[in-house]
């Protein structure tokens, strides 16, 4: 009997959704565009160069590492592009190029690839690199030039006891890193991600809510009364929106369970406020998220959902 070509077989299901890792990364990149473009227009061509350089450095690092290690090249999943972009918009607009490249290499090589690549890292690579740069080049990382003059970030001004214009902060009329200044643009991107079901609303909602409540209590207890201006400044400043929508929600380094996500968000919310209000620095988002990342395995362990039919008894 003539043997015909055998058909494909595989384990069920035999249909798959059209969502892929690459598409998800692309969605996040798209969601970052309003803030990125706003930052570039505001800070000029050097900001554009800085962002492009970090992206290229991040992608090249992954490519070269994988070539050297004779592993399949995974730059097509766009996660390195996203890491580069996130790092780029987290830099001050006048940051030296070579330091930015160093940061991108650190993010991809040390934080991501050495732990096994996509999905295996326990810290958000872009944030870890930012913290690395802050420690290594503290001066350059905290110098913010806006309108040609070196100025303090709104939160630093607030900490020094000055008053700030919240509306200007919301619309991005203040100093800061390339992507963090315009809360409105970040909000647009964040809401886009929630609508497209890319991120879980729980993390940004509970993170921002925790910060609001914490600062409110602080304002009542330590500043002798409710200060709306003070609370709003904390919500609009210091990259909170960038952190809440784009950094804390990083799949790999946030809890996978629903309850876990709420615990994690509340935890980093409290930590952010502790750093901001009681620490020496005016900012606290990056470190809070990084420490939150480290606690993720623990949080996941204690938040295993109750399975369907648990505790059911025969009639």
Partner 1 sequence: MAVFTFKGGVHPFDGKDISKTKPIVDFIPKGEMVFPVSQHIGAPAEPVVEVGDRVKAGTLIAKAGGFVSSNIYSSCSGTVKAIEPRQVVMGNMVKSIIIENDGLYEAEEPWDVKPYEELTPEEIKELVLRAGVVGMGGATFPTHVKLAPKDPDKIDYIIVNGAECEPYLTSDYRRLMERPEKVILGLKIVLRIFPNAKGVIAVEDNKKDAIAKLRELVKNEPRISVCQLKTKYPQGSERHLIYAVTKRQINSSLLPADAGCIVDNVDTIYSIQRAVVDGKPLMHRIVTVTGDAIKDPRNFRVPIGTNMMDLVEAAGGFVQEPEKIIVGGPMMGNPVYHLNLPIMKGTSAITCFKTDEVAKAKKHETHCISCGKCIDVCPSRLIPTKLADCSATRDLETFNKFNGVECVECGSCSFICPAKRNLAQSIKTMRKEALAARRK
Place of tokens 């904390």: 234
- Contact status: 4 vs partner 1 (CB under 8 A): yes
Report 114-173 residues binding partner 1 (CB under 8 A): 116-120
* Binding residue for partner 1, selected from 2, 222, 225, 310, defined by CB under 8 A: 310
| Nearest distance from C-beta of residue 70 to partner 1, angstroms | 18
For the beta carbon of residue 282, count every other beta carbon within 10 angstroms.
20
CA dihedral 293, 202, 168, 228 (to 10 degrees): -100
Map residues 170-209 to x or -, x wherever contact with partner 1 holds by CB under 8 A. ------------------------------x---------
Quickly list DSSP for 278-302.
Answer: HSSSS--HHHHHHHHHHHHHHHHHH
Residues 53-82 that bind partner 1 (CB under 8 A): 74, 77, 79
Total residues found in the chain within this entry: 315
Q: Cβ of residue 5: shortest distance to partner 1, in angstroms?
A: 8
70, exposed or middle or buried, with CB in 10 Å at 0-12, 13-18, 19+?
exposed
Helix (H) or strand (E) holding 259: helix 258-278
**Judged by CB under 8 A, which stretch of 113-121, 175-183, 235-243, 283-291 contacts partner 1?**
113-121
Residues 6+ apart with CB under 8 A from 227: 219
How does DSSP assign 10-78, residue by residue?
-SSP----S--HHHHHHHHHHHHHHHHHHHHHHH-HHHHHHHHHHHHHHHHHHHHHHHHTT----GGGS
CB of 160 to partner 1, least distance (A): 40
Considering the rule CB under 8 A, would residue 225 count as an interface residue with partner 1? no
Site string for partner 1, 230-269 (x = CB under 8 A): ---------------------xx-x-xxx-----------
Judged by CB under 8 A, which stretch of 150-158, 220-228, 231-239, 298-306 contacts partner 1? 298-306
> Which of 60-68, 230-238, 273-281, 300-308 is the region at the interface with partner 1 (rule: CB under 8 A)?
300-308
The verdict on 299 binding partner 1 (CB under 8 A) reads no
SS3 at position 116:
coil
**Which residue has 């160093």 as its token pair?**
102
Can you give the binding site for partner 1, defined by CB under 8 A? 4, 6-17, 19-24, 74, 77, 79, 116-120, 200, 251-252, 254, 256-258, 304-310, 312-315
């Amino acid at each position: 009997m003539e043997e015909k070509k055998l058909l494909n077989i595989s384990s069920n299901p035999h249909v798959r959704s059209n969502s892929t890792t690459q598409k998800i990364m692309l969605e996040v990149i798209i969601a970052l565009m309003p803030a990125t473009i706003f930052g570039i227009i505001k800070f000029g061509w050097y900001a554009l160069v800085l962002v492009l350089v970090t992206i290229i450095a991040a992608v090249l690092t992954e490519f070269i590492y994988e070539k050297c290690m004779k592993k399949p090249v995974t730059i097509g999943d766009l996660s390195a592009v996203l890491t580069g972009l996130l790092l780029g918009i987290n830099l001050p607009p006048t940051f030296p190029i070579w330091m930015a490249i160093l940061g991108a290499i650190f993010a991809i090589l040390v934080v991501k690839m050495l732990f096994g690549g996509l999905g295996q890292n326990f810290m958000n690579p872009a944030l870890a690199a930012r913290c690395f740069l802050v420690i290594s080049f503290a001066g350059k990382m905290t110098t913010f030039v806006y309108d040609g003059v070196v100025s303090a970030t709104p939160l630093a001004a607030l900490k020094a006891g000055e008053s700030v214009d919240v509306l200007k902060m919301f619309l991005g009329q203040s100093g800061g890193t390339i992507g963090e200044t315009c809360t409105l643009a970040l909000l647009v991107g964040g809401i886009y991600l929630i609508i497209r079901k890319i991120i879980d609303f729980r993390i940004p909602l509970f993170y921002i809510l925790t910060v609001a409540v914490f600062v409110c209590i602080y304002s009542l207890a330590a500043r002798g009364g409710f200060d709306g201006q003070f609370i709003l400044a904390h919500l609009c400043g210091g990259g909170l929106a960038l952190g809440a929508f784009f950094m804390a929600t990083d799949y790999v380094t946030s809890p996978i369970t629903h309850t876990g996500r709420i615990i994690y968000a509340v935890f980093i919310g409290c930590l952010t406020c502790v750093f901001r209000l009681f620490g020496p620095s005016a900012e606290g988002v990056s470190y809070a998220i990084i420490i939150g990342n480290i606690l993720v395995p623990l949080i996941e362990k204690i938040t295993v959902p109750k399975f369907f039919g648990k505790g059911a008894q025969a009639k």
